[in-house]
Copies of this chain bind each other. A is one copy, B any other.
């Protein structure tokens, strides 16, 4: 049974295929699009097409970019001797917000995950190995997520890079700043103990 006009049903269906959007939300979003002035609906459609058309991967670090080389790789003020390896482009944003890191990046676009049939060739590991093999890199910081898949990926990459004599480090595990000790989980707490430092 068809309740809405075809063009509306199609739009609802497109929204419903987006991650985290159910049928009810998709309907609400489609009705919202109908309520927009024509010009704003066109801008929305254009933004989708422009993003697909203009955004590609940086050939060096694999981050998203709209130039031939991304702004991080082409920035000469950044230390080319340090490369921070992250799983996703949004992790680059999280690190940039600290304003502490001044090296380069490498974006894997995922982590190795045998459960989800994602092997080493499905993420951008060989591009990283090629960069290290070219020379000029002293340290590779593994900044994948502190979970099973992130840890396994970091471990796998560190073994691959060992022959090149490059220093491979991992972000510190520990209790989050501003959190309360009583609510810290046991694993985090034991990692924080393990990694304790002189004051």
Q: Residues of A with Cβ closer than 8 Å to B?
A: 1, 3-8, 10-11, 13-14, 18-21, 25, 27-34, 36, 38, 41-55, 64-67, 88-90, 92-93, 96-97
Contact = CB atoms under 8 A, between A and B. Distances in A.
Given A10-B47, A14-B47, A44-B48, A93 B19 contact: no
A72 to B, nearest CB: 10
B89 A31 contact: yes
Contact of A64 (B5, B13, B66): B5
Contacts of A92: 3
Contact of A5 (B32, B45, B65): B65
B64 A48 contact: no
Contacts of A67: 5
A57 to B, nearest CB: 10
A80 B184 CA distance: 66
A49 B42 contact: yes
Contacts of A20: 25, 28-29
Contact of A90 (B27, B45, B53, B90): B27
A112 to B, nearest CB: 18
13 contacts: A3-B97, A4-B64, A5-B67, A7-B55, A14-B48, A18-B32, A20-B25, A21-B29, A27-B90, A31-B88, A33-B51, A41-B51, A45-B45
A52 B33 contact: yes
Contacts of A31: 88-90
A47 B89 contact: no
Contacts of A28: 19-20
Contact of A50 (B3, B10, B18, B65): B10
A85 to B, nearest CB: 18
Nearest to A25: B20
Contacts of A93: 3-4
Nearest to A36: B52
B64 A34 contact: yes
